[in-house]
Amino acid sequence: MSDIILQIDGKEVAAKPGMTVFEAAQSAGIAIPTLCHHEKLAPYGACRICTVEADAGGRTSFVAACLYPAEKGLVVRTRTEQVNRMRKVLLEQMLSHAPDSEDLLELAGEYGADPHRFEKEPSFCILCGLCVRYCAEVKQKHAVSFFDRGAKREINFIPEIAVKECWDCKECFPLCPTSALQAAYVLTESLLTPPEEPSSCGGCSSRG
């Protein structure tokens, strides 16, 4: 199949069918920031830092570059004033949870985000879901999962799986943009009885 030609930041970019705007930009050397994208995982679109402005079908809208398909004739702008402002606010929101994350602080510098703008709620996790998705999609172990919803959403290990699978793997640790995961895992470990007696596990009763 022939290439799809679209325009990103005024530059003509050729994309293969099935590519997203993010991938097309990447192939053309245009950097779009992201915190939840991983090449081995299905696009997810949770952090929204990759939000760009796109003109398609006569309409201008903001879309997540990591999810939006590269379409013929699409016109994309990755650094408009409004896009920058939204990225700044998103970073400030995430920094209220993980104020010391180096990845976040680096982007904060670029976008002029104030790490102290919003009330702190140090959960240390920005719910990018890299660990959850990696464990499910690549390792197929399902040892870590999202729980609850809305403002109460969080990640947790599933003790009965974690106790069997995690100790020798830990491949998700380096993926974490805020280093929250290791802490969560250690916490879960401490709740567990030794792995030899998984039947008397009491770890999950800590959740209502």
Per CB under 8 A, residues contacting other proteins are 45-49, 51, 62-64, 67-69, 82, 85-86, 89-90, 93-94, 96-97, 118-119, 121, 126-127, 129, 132, 136, 142-153, 156, 158, 160-161, 204-205, 207-208
Of 128, 121, 131, 127, which Cα lies nearest the Cα of 99? 121
Taking the least distance from each CB to other proteins, the nearer of 40 and 152 is 152
CB 180, min distance to other proteins, A: 15
Taking the least distance from each CB to other proteins, the nearer of 29 and 47 is 47
Taking the least distance from each CB to other proteins, the nearer of 29 and 42 is 42
Measured CA angle at 172 (ends 18, 125), to 5 deg: 95
CB 68, min distance to other proteins, A: 7
CB 172, min distance to other proteins, A: 13
By the 8 A CB rule, do 14 and 5 touch? yes
DSSP 3-state helix, strand, coil percentages of the chain (rounded to 5)? 35, 15, 50
Burial profile 115-150: b = 16 or more Cβ within 10 angstroms, e = fewer: beeeeeeebbbbbbbbbbbbbbeeeebebbbeeeee
Taking the least distance from each CB to other proteins, the nearer of 11 and 147 is 147
Of 24, 25, 2, 26, which Cα lies nearest the Cα of 15? 24
CB 28, min distance to other proteins, A: 22
How far apart CA 138 and CA 135 sit, in angstroms, is: 6
CB 132, min distance to other proteins, A: 8
Residue where the block lists tokens 């997203």? 20
Taking the least distance from each CB to other proteins, the nearer of 11 and 169 is 169
